[in-house]
Amino acid sequence: MQAPFFILEDHAPTPATNVDVWLQWMVRANRRLKQDQLPNGLWVSTVFLGYDPDRRHEGPPRVFETVALRGAAPLAVQRYATWDAADAGHRQLVQRMRRYRLREQPRRRRTA
């Protein structure tokens, strides 16, 4: 069974020895890898989560997350097991979101 909580050591996810160590690290650490605000108003942010939100999958824990946001609404969420994969995934999602066209909200008809 894999450890439930992770900290970063030289960009590598490392199992925390206990929950107190993990909590102290999470409070002090800068967990943001990258963040971009795009000209079309979208945000793309990549962070180290410190845990794997979906431990049902096969393979290493996915402890990094990239999210594309329009306001508070997520447009895309991707998770990664390594710093390098998260860095590359962030760049790819930024390129994809640069091409994203914001749809205008339909105008409401006025009623008398």
Per-residue model confidence (pLDDT) at position 79:
96
> Which of 19-23, 63-67, 97-101 is the least confident region?
97-101
Per-residue model confidence (pLDDT) at position 2:
63
C-alpha to C-alpha distance for 59 and 55, rounded to whole angstroms:
9
C-alpha to C-alpha distance for 73 and 9, rounded to whole angstroms:
32
Is residue 77 within 8 Å of residue 67, measured between CB atoms? yes
Q: Is the pLDDT of residue 104 over 80?
A: no
Give residues with Cβ within 8 angstroms of 6, minimum separation 6.
13, 14, 15, 16, 22, 50, 51, 61, 63
Name the band, by pLDDT with cuts 50, 70 and 90, for residue 106.
Answer: very low
Domain boundaries, the chain: 31-98
Per-residue model confidence (pLDDT) at position 103:
60
